[in-house]
Amino acid sequence: MRQSRLFTKIEKNPPKDEESLNALLLERGGFIQRLMSGVYSYLPLGLLILKKIEQIIREEMNAVGGQEILMPALHPMDNYIKTGRENISDLFHTQLGNGSKFVLGQSHEEVVVPLVQRFAHSYKDLPVAVYQIQTKFRNELRAKSGLFRGREFSMKDMYSFHLTMEDFEKYYETVKKAYIKIFERTCIGDKTYFTYAAGGTFSKFSHEFQMLTPAGEDTIYVCDKCKVAVNDEIKNEHPKCPECGGALGEPKKSIEVGNIFPLKTKFSDAFGMRVKNEEGKDVPVFMGCYGIGLSRLMGAVAEVSNDENGFIWPKSVAPFAVHLVYLRSDDKNVKAEADKLYEKLTAEGVEVLYDDREEKSAGEKFAESDLVGIPLRMVISEKTLKSDSVELKKRGKKEAELVKISEIKKYVQ
Amino acid sequence: MRQSRLFTKIEKNPPKDEESLNALLLERGGFIQRLMSGVYSYLPLGLLILKKIEQIIREEMNAVGGQEILMPALHPMDNYIKTGRENISDLFHTQLGNGSKFVLGQSHEEVVVPLVQRFAHSYKDLPVAVYQIQTKFRNELRAKSGLFRGREFSMKDMYSFHLTMEDFEKYYETVKKAYIKIFERTCIGDKTYFTYAAGGTFSKFSHEFQMLTPAGEDTIYVCDKCKVAVNDEIKNEHPKCPECGGALGEPKKSIEVGNIFPLKTKFSDAFGMRVKNEEGKDVPVFMGCYGIGLSRLMGAVAEVSNDENGFIWPKSVAPFAVHLVYLRSDDKNVKAEADKLYEKLTAEGVEVLYDDREEKSAGEKFAESDLVGIPLRMVISEKTLKSDSVELKKRGKKEAELVKISEIKKYVQ
């Protein structure tokens, strides 16, 4: 994309009222824009990151047999009366002109159970795992921390249905591994811990994936040996590592970037969902649910992928792979060569943001390039063209090197 | 995708309460499922179609310089007070725990103007066109006609900002052509007419794209010579073709599949959006908006792409390119060969739905394949394998032909 055409601009001054680093930097760089507390628009650069994250999650959910669907945000209140969740405090409510009551989904158990129920009647129809990537709403009075705690946010939620608790438990382990892969692919794996947490109203435990960051809202205690953690909320009950029984480390701040949850038969029972087993007997259906907030994950990656000059996006989620920076010159050939290189790289499938602007100085361009944080900066100027070269510098590194244009390919794959 | 793994099933009996053909067939085929009137879930096959349509629209919007963003569904009521639209009857309302009032967006003028305003200060920053593909909400008391008129629906809305009315008008023509391309690519171009319609509260005219169908809610009068139409709502005012002045045809039922709309300065004025022109003077900004409902377009394609046996999806929006149908056999080699062919085609990038089910008869499989409506059916059986062949039949055609497996490639590209 040509930067001269990008309608967003780098903002020199951080926005007011933003307290969290992720939102401050994301707003300054033109990735997102706040409409109101906890509600953001994704601008072109930010949407590209969100879509990279979406695709990583989609691939890993497909790999564990998840079938992608898309459920609505408007839910009939009746379904919540069935599950006894009609009074959850952070639901948004709305109604039709005739008074029919709806809620805006912050989770989809009330929709997905009747949906799958229509198709699953026998043991032959199970297991089933369906997921969606969809917009959720949460009536948060004190939305804060940028993309960490929103009133409207993008979420992947998967639900699985099983004939037996054993089958559920096996699948739960499979999804756990898929989650670990997702956090590795988004390059927060080394900071992210499988964490034992409280189970809410209908299950003794749930499991979270918590990423260490001082900006987090949660507190966890890590077992360095097992690479797992315990959430503060169950620390009294579980003062030792649940896996090796050893001592846990000091309390550390963290942000939940995913959770997996045994639902057992709570929701399937509420809708009378039963299937015939191999003996022809009606039996209950065991469920699990598996969530990852895409916008929150983007905030988490942003929070830990930066230095004093701006972002250092991991390649897997960066909006572009290469930031081609043209330095203005009176020699029109320089711009022509830069254009040619941009067209060539783009035609080869390399994702390039091309700073083709004439009005900005080299200093301004370098500062903005650092803030935007694309992994590889490629400078083309009168000087570099004297040796038919560009200057390559990895974001976050000090060293730059001159590379012949004919040899660029090795560096951009 | 292996059909044995698909959790949805063909429903033999049409769903109750559905009056429109598109929803009846889409529900029977397992493409969508109704949660309540005007609110649908997209099941795996339906979501694939929606995504094909999304990608066509995205490509054409990018081709006319549209920059993709994603705005929220929750809007602060204050912005509607500024534009005087706070009392639109079909808005959904909701509120925060502390009483702050929000509406759910059915359009995004109130969000996009302040968003672009932050970046556009001078003539150098214009024109700008931004678009999103996002979920809209409309408080429809009488939602009906399946995907045609929903309470929650997927929409592409683009907004353009210009320094002069002339620049706007030029861009309007460009987008008009992009829309014609979109309807051609989704194979409803021959039934779809550029239609003159009323302009609402702030513009004399707007333009719609209306697709002829007896299931439509609108009435248009076509000029066969100019391939344009006039909406019934302005017929009294404009009894002749607006382009050639000739007579218009008989009234025909149609469904609006897109609209483009001059907004002039109504919304930019409401937010005090002005830019410096070349002389350094503050001047108003001219806007246009351009909508296409993705779910409605999917309903429209469904409505006209079928016969008595089910869908006949155009290749461009079909959930898969090939329906590979294995006919059960006691000879295990047949299944092994079918599996091999499925793996091979998939590896080559062909989108294949593979009916690998053992429990269904040939007759059931053929009937279901017709209902699902994938463009090319490829039958593999003991019989076809005797000549190392598969039987190919285009959906909607009577003739089938035996084709050597080694020569399939020519037929599936």
Q: How far apart are CA A103 and CA B95, in angstroms?
A: 12
Percentage with pLDDT > 90 across chain B:
90
Start-to-end C-alpha separation, chain B: 18
Q: How far apart are CA A166 and CA A172, in angstroms?
A: 10
State the average pLDDT over residues A38-50: 97
> Mean pLDDT over all residues of chain B?
95
Best residue in B2, B11, B27, B39 for a mutation probing chain A (most A CBs within 10 Å):
B39
Q: Tell me whether residue A3 is in a domain.
A: no
Whether chain A has a CB inside 8 Å of the CB on B346: the answer is: no
The answer to whether residues B149 and B210 belong to one domain is yes
Binning pLDDT at 50, 70 and 90, where does residue A146 land? confident
pLDDT at B16: 72
**Subunit contact B139:A96, Cβ cutoff 8 A:** yes
Residue B184, min C-alpha distance to chain A (Å): 26
pLDDT at B159: 98
The answer to whether residues A62 and A166 belong to one domain is yes
**Subunit contact A35:B137, Cβ cutoff 8 A:** no
Q: Which residue of A has its CA nearest to B141?
A: A97
Whether chain B has a CB inside 8 Å of the CB on A77: the answer is: no
DSSP conformation class of B139: -
Calculate helix-pair angle for A44-63, A165-185, nearest 10 degrees: 140
**Subunit contact A33:B94, Cβ cutoff 8 A:** no
Whether chain B has a CB inside 8 Å of the CB on A12: the answer is: no
**Subunit contact B41:A71, Cβ cutoff 8 A:** yes
Q: Tell me whether residue B16 is in a domain.
A: no
Last residue of a domain, one of B275, B307, B339: B307
Binning pLDDT at 50, 70 and 90, where does residue A13 land? confident
> Mean pLDDT over all residues of chain A?
95
pLDDT at A63: 98
State the average pLDDT over residues A1-29: 87
The answer to whether residues A250 and A394 belong to one domain is no
Whether chain A has a CB inside 8 Å of the CB on B117: the answer is: no
Residue of B93, B102, B116 with shortest CB distance to A7: B116
Q: Which residue of B has its CA nearest to A154?
A: B72
The answer to whether residues B243 and B116 belong to one domain is yes
The answer to whether residues A345 and A214 belong to one domain is no
Find out whether B101 and B77 touch, Cβ atoms under 8 Å: yes
- pLDDT exceeds cutoff 70 at A202: no
Q: Please identify which residue in the block is written with the tokens 């083309």.
A: A380
pTM of model > 0.95: yes
Q: What amino acid is encoded at B226 in this protein?
A: C
Q: How far apart are CA B35 and CA A103, in angstroms?
A: 13
Q: How far apart are CA A230 and CA A247, in angstroms?
A: 11
State the average pLDDT over residues A143-169: 93
- Torsion, Cα of B347, B353, B356, B362 (10° steps): -140
Binning pLDDT at 50, 70 and 90, where does residue A201 land? low
pLDDT at B200: 64
Q: Tell me whether residue B254 is in a domain.
A: yes
Binning pLDDT at 50, 70 and 90, where does residue A142 land? confident
**Subunit contact A47:B36, Cβ cutoff 8 A:** no
**Subunit contact B7:A42, Cβ cutoff 8 A:** no
* Higher-pLDDT residue of B18, A323: A323
- pLDDT exceeds cutoff 70 at A200: no
The answer to whether residues B298 and B339 belong to one domain is no
**Subunit contact B141:A68, Cβ cutoff 8 A:** no
Q: How far apart are CA A139 and CA A174, in angstroms?
A: 32
Binning pLDDT at 50, 70 and 90, where does residue A203 land? low
Q: Tell me whether residue A279 is in a domain.
A: yes
The answer to whether residues B279 and B365 belong to one domain is no
Q: Tell me whether residue B210 is in a domain.
A: yes
Binning pLDDT at 50, 70 and 90, where does residue B178 land? very high
pLDDT at B199: 78
Whether chain B has a CB inside 8 Å of the CB on A13: the answer is: no
> For the segment B322-363, what is each residue's pLDDT rounded down to a tens digit?
999 999 999 999 999 999 999 999 999 999 999 999 999 999
Residues of chain B with C-beta less than 8 angstroms from the C-beta of A6: 67
Collapse the DSSP code of B232 into the 3-class scheme (helix H, G, I; strand E, B; otherwise coil) and give the result: helix
State the average pLDDT over residues B163-185: 98
Residues of chain A with C-beta less than 8 angstroms from the C-beta of B351: none
**Subunit contact B68:A9, Cβ cutoff 8 A:** no
Residue of B6, B41, B71 with shortest CB distance to A72: B41
Of A264, A288, A284, A265, whose CA–CA distance to A274 is shortest? A284
Q: Tell me whether residue B312 is in a domain.
A: no
Q: Which residue of A has its CA nearest to B69?
A: A43
- pLDDT exceeds cutoff 70 at B202: no
pLDDT at B19: 72
Whether chain A has a CB inside 8 Å of the CB on B131: the answer is: no
Best residue in B6, B8, B61 for a mutation probing chain A (most A CBs within 10 Å):
B8
- pLDDT exceeds cutoff 70 at B201: no
Binning pLDDT at 50, 70 and 90, where does residue A267 land? very high
| Omega within 30 of 0 (cis) for the link into B127 | yes
> For the segment B110-157, what is each residue's pLDDT rounded down to a tens digit?
999 999 999 999 999 999 999 999 999 999 988 777 888 899 999 999
Find out whether A47 and A172 touch, Cβ atoms under 8 Å: no
> For the segment B270-325, what is each residue's pLDDT rounded down to a tens digit?
999 999 999 999 999 999 999 999 999 999 999 999 999 999 999 999 999 999 99
User: Cβ-count burial of B305 within 10 angstroms (0-12 exposed, 13-18 middle, 19+ buried)?
Assistant: buried
The answer to whether residues A335 and A375 belong to one domain is yes
**Subunit contact B94:A98, Cβ cutoff 8 A:** no
Residue of B35, B72, B120 with shortest CB distance to A72: B35
CATH code of residue A404:
3.40.50.800
The answer to whether residues A138 and A42 belong to one domain is yes
**Could you give the angle at the alpha carbon of A382 between the alpha carbons of A380 and A388, nearest 5°?**
65
Note the residue count of chain A. Answer: 413
**Subunit contact B152:A111, Cβ cutoff 8 A:** no
> For the segment A311-366, what is each residue's pLDDT rounded down to a tens digit?
999 999 999 999 999 999 999 999 999 999 999 999 999 999 999 999 999 999 99
CATH code of residue A275:
3.30.930.10
The answer to whether residues B330 and B256 belong to one domain is no
User: Among the listed ranges A7-16, A23-32, A54-63, A174-183, which one has the minimum average pLDDT value?
Assistant: A7-16
Q: Tell me whether residue B316 is in a domain.
A: no
Q: What amino acid is encoded at B381 in this protein?
A: S
The answer to whether residues B115 and B150 belong to one domain is yes
State the average pLDDT over residues B161-176: 97
Q: Tell me whether residue A365 is in a domain.
A: yes
* Higher-pLDDT residue of A51, B18: A51
pLDDT at A96: 93
DSSP string, B267-323: HHHHTT-EEE-TTS-EEE-EEEEEEEEHHHHHHHHHHHSEETTEE---TTT-S-SEE
- Residues 150 to 189 of A: which have CB under 8 A from any B CB? 151-152
Binning pLDDT at 50, 70 and 90, where does residue A144 land? confident
Reduce the secondary structure of chain A to three states and give it as a string: CECCCCCCCCCCCCCCCCCCHHHHHHHHCCCEEEEECCEEEECHHHHHHHHHHHHHHHHHHHHCCCEECECCCEEEHHHHHHHCCCCCCCCEEEECCCCCEEEECCCCHHHHHHHHHCCCCEHHHCCEEEEEEEEEECCCCCCECCCCECCEEEEEEEEEEECCHHHHHHHHHHHHHHHHHHHHHCCCHHHEEEEEEECCCCCCEEEEEEEECCCCCEEEEEECCCCEEEEHHHCCCCCECCCCCCECCCEEEEEEEEEEEEEECHHHHHCCCEEECCCCCEEECEEEEEEEEHHHHHHHHHHHCEECCEECCCCCCCCCCEEEEECCCCCHHHHHHHHHHHHHHHHCCCCEEEECCCCCCHHHHHHHHHHHCCCEEEEECHHHHCCCEEEEEECCCCCEEEEEHHHCHHHHC
Q: Total domain count for chain B?
A: 2
State the average pLDDT over residues B229-246: 94
Instruction: Show the tokens assigned to A374.
Output: 């694309």
Last residue of a domain, one of A307, A341, A368: A307
DSSP string, B151-206: SEEEEEEEEEEESSHHHHHHHHHHHHHHHHHHHHHTT-GGGEEEEEEE-TTS-SEE
Q: Which residue of A has its CA nearest to B113?
A: A35
- pLDDT exceeds cutoff 60 at A166: yes
The answer to whether residues B108 and B132 belong to one domain is yes
Residue B98, min C-alpha distance to chain A (Å): 7
Q: Using the Cα atoms of residue A338, residue A340, residue A345 and residue A351 in order, give the sign of their dihedral.
A: positive
Write out the residue range of the structural domain in which residue B138 sits: 21-307
Last residue of a domain, one of B307, B339, B357: B307
**Subunit contact B69:A115, Cβ cutoff 8 A:** no
